[in-house]
Each structure stands twice: as structure tokens, then as C-alpha cells.
DNA sequence: TTGACAATAGAACGCGCGTTCTATATAAAG
DNA sequence: CTTTATATAGAACGCGCGTTCTATTGTCAA
């Protein structure tokens, strides 16, 4: 049986460790991970990974996975063929957290109920990212309080007035009289199909 | 001016550091972060954060942010009021990566072009998570090769046969004759509204 | 066979990490 | 004012981290 200790498998074990522990392993821990019996061997491979650009060391000398090993590959064109692993029609690698949420401190998630925004492709059960303290622009989808109830609507300016309109013809337009409570602006929506 | 050195601000600085550096700071670095001049003070506050359940130490004694400080809060019910910060109608806290992608190793992202799945709420420009090597079940949305072109379709079983049908009446059903290439199963879809 | 190179083991070492002690300033309570 | 608790500073210390050295093995080509 051949030794499976090559750069690929070592990279995978590191990514796996980081995903589980939310930190990089120590050299001693890597001895177990790589199945070697000396820290110098660990150092030997770490150097190789750094040469390949898979690992980096930050200013303080701590190991860091470079982006390419982390996150999920964003495939540019499937027509060119399916990505088997880290192939070359991979345009970029993104973390969902970073991609979907600009300001984590002032954002929260909300599960959608109802079909008032079905025309915008937001369905019952979806999860939307809401950013607070953001000035809504014309056409944005906002979380607004209407008749003591929080709903999602398009934010439209008509001259000096503001109109809230659903993305569903079954719902009427709303012309807020005085106070208009905006809970935030919807910046993204996600949906899961399988558990 | 009051000292802003309370548990909340310390927690925020740690979360911010971890988001930027992808690791926890050392005690020496925390001296700068917390604006104190002694490591013992750092230890003093770290203990407090551990008591509050904001921080943890793993088996090897390394600091770890517990889930509640990380990720984005999932609000249960907005009707009860908007979440100002870490309030108590927060049901859960989730990481988008973990929530959307079960198997990061065998998944990839794909940008949707066309409107063949508009009926399922997947629009042009959306990003879908595709999981390879997964057995499609009846009703799943799959990435399939049809006439040398990769498209997304519903996967339907009709007796012993398999039919691929778009979520758009403008597109015809497809009855694959022999080989049916399935590139993967769509497990999630995401959409960004604002840049 | 001989050499070159890649891969491993083991040991030694310095430095910085996290811990823990004592001491002091500030604030609240009696 | 005293007493108590809270919050800070500074220093000392042991241990483990990552580094680096030497030595040994296995593989492949000449």
C-alpha cells in the first residue's frame, strides 16, 4: 500500500482541522495529522506548502490558510466541463459569510413567511439578510412596519412621498402617513433545498 | 470620557480580530486590543468572558469564540421587536458557510444564467450550491447535460424513466434517451441585492 | 555499485506564550 | 474614615511552541 502522504492530502487534513477547530494545529498536533514522528518532518512539509502558496505566515509568524484552500470554489463555466477538484475553470473561491454579509455587526437573519415578495424571487421559508442602519434607496427591498406588523416591501419614492409596494399584485400599495418604521434593508436572500 | 473597556467592547474587539486574522490574538496582542498594559489584566478579562460563556478553551487550552459571538444572529420573530444587538428574540446564530454547505469538499458554486428555473425562485445571476456525487431524488433540482449543454432542471421519475423538466412552461420536457449526465444536485441558492 | 536527492527520525535550543504572584489605585458600602 | 470589592500594573516563571541541527533510510538514475 502506498503512502498517502503527499501535498494534497496534507492540505486536506489541515483544512479539515481548521474547519473543525477554528484554528490551525500546532506542530505537535500535525505529527498526528500527517502521521509522522518528528516535528522536523512537519516543518519540512509546511515549507513545501508555503512554497506552493497554500499556506502563509502572518506578521507574527502564525500559520494561515491562504484563501485558495478555504471556502468553496466558484466555477466560471460548466460548459467547459465539470470541476473534478481544484481545476482550472475555477474563477474564484469565496466564503459565503464574507460574500453575503458586508457588515456582520449590524446585520441579522430573518426567516420569510408569506408570499408578498414572491415576484422578487423571495419565497416562504427563505432566509434573508437584513442590514440595519442603512439608508434605503429607491427600489430596495426593506423590512418595514405596517399597521403594527413587520413585512417586506419594495421601497419606492414618488416625488416627496414614499410608497411601499409588494412584489405580488394581490397585495395593495401602502402609503405611509406619518411615521414609517424601517427595520433595515434586505441585502441578500438564501434558500436551502435539501437537508 | 468614560472608559469603554467593558465586556461588550472586549468581546467585539476579539470578534473583529478573529474575523480579520482568522485566529485568536495572543495575550500580548490583547494588551493592545484592550488598551491595557499588563498581561495579567488580559487574563483577568478573559476569565470573565469564559464565565459568561463568550469564550471557551479547547482541550489543548487554546481560546475559542463560542458560537454565540460568531456568525449572524437568526431572529425568530420581528413582530416582537427589532433586534438592537444581542437581544433575546435571537433564536440561533448561524454561519452561512456551515448553514448552506454540508460537504465543502464535494461542492462548488455556480452562477445561474437564464430563466429556466424561474418558477423555483432561481433567477438569472443567482449563485447556486452544487453538490457532486449525490444521488438525485424525485423532485430535486439537478445540474444536467442536455445536448452538450449544462442546464438546471427538475429531476422527475416516471416509472422506470427519468424526465427533466424546467420550472418554466416555456421550456419543453426532456426525455433523455441513453446516457444522462448529472453534474450534481442543487442544495441551496443565494442572491445578493446590494453591493 | 555509486552517487544524488527526497523523505524521515530524533534531539537540542531559544524565545514567547499563558499563568500566577504581589502591589496599588479607584469606587462603592458601611 | 474604614472596609470591601473591583480594576489595573508589573514582574517572575515554567513549559511548550516552532526552529534547526545531525543522521538514517529509500528511491531513482548514471
A29-85 tens-digit pLDDT:
999 999 999 999 999 999 999 999 999 999 999 999 988 788 898 987 665 556 655
Query: Cα dist. B91→B74, B78, B163 in Å?
Result: 6, 11, 40
Helix/strand/coil for B71: coil
Average pLDDT score over residue span B154-169: 91
B73 touching A (Cβ < 8 Å):
yes
Nucleotide nearest A41, from its CA to each C1' = C8
pLDDT of residue B78: 64
B114 touching A (Cβ < 8 Å):
no
Query: Cα dist. B182→A74, B137, B185 in Å?
Result: 18, 12, 8
Q: How far is the CA of A2 from the C1' of C1 (A)?
A: 28
Contacts of B155 (CB under 8 A, 6+ apart): B136, B137, B138, B139, B140, B141, B142, B144, B162, B164, B182, B185
Helix/strand/coil for B164: strand
Q: What is the DSSP letter of B176?
A: -
B32-51 tens-digit pLDDT:
999 999 999 999 999 999 99
Whether CB of A43 is under 7 Å from strand D: the answer is yes
The Cα of A44 is separated from the nearest Cα of chain B by a number of Å equal to 23
B60-69 tens-digit pLDDT:
999 999 887 8
Global pTM?
A: 0.87
What is the set of active-site residues of B? 116, 153
Q: What is the DSSP letter of B14?
A: H
Nearest-CA residue to the C1' of D8? B41
Is the per-residue pLDDT at B27 higher than 80? yes
Task: Report the distance separating Cα A15 and Cα A107, nearest Å.
Answer: 28
Q: Which helix (H) or strand (E) holds A30?
A: helix A27-34
A22-35 tens-digit pLDDT:
999 999 999 999 99
Average pLDDT score over residue span A86-111: 83
A150-195 tens-digit pLDDT:
889 999 998 888 999 999 999 999 887 767 889 999 999 999 998 7
What pLDDT band is residue A1 in, cutting at 50, 70 and 90? very low
Nucleotides of D under 7 A from a protein CB: 7-12, 16-22
Amino acid at each position: 500500500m502506498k503512502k498517502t502522504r503527499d501535498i494534497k492530502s496534507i492540505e486536506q487534513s489541515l483544512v479539515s482541522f481548521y474547519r473543525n477547530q477554528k484554528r490551525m494545529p500546532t506542530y505537535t498536533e500535525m505529527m498526528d495529522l500527517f502521521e509522522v514522528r518528528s516535528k522536523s518532518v512537519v516543518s519540512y512539509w509546511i515549507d513545501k506548502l508555503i512554497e506552493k502558496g497554500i499556506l502563509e505566515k502572518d506578521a507574527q509568524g502564525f500559520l494561515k490558510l491562504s484563501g485558495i484552500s478555504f471556502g468553496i470554489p466558484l466555477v466560471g463555466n460548466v460548459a467547459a466541463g465539470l470541476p473534478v477538484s481544484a481545476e482550472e475553470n475555477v474563477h474564484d473561491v469565496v466564503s459565503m459569510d464574507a460574500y453575503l454579509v458586508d457588515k456582520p455587526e449590524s446585520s441579522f437573519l430573518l426567516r420569510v413567511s408569506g408570499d408578498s415578495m414572491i415576484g422578487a424571487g423571495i419565497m416562504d421559508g427563505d432566509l434573508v439578510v437584513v442590514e440595519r442602519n442603512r439608508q434605503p434607496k429607491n427600489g430596495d427591498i426593506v423590512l418595514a412596519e405596517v399597521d403594527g406588523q413587520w413585512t417586506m416591501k419594495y421601497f419606492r419614492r414618488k416625488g416627496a412621498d414614499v410608497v411601499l409596494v409588494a412584489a405580488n399584485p394581490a397585495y395593495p400599495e401602502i402609503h405611509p402617513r406619518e411615521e414609517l418604521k424601517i427595520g433595515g434593508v434586505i441585502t441578500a436572500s438564501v434558500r436551502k433545498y435539501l437537508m
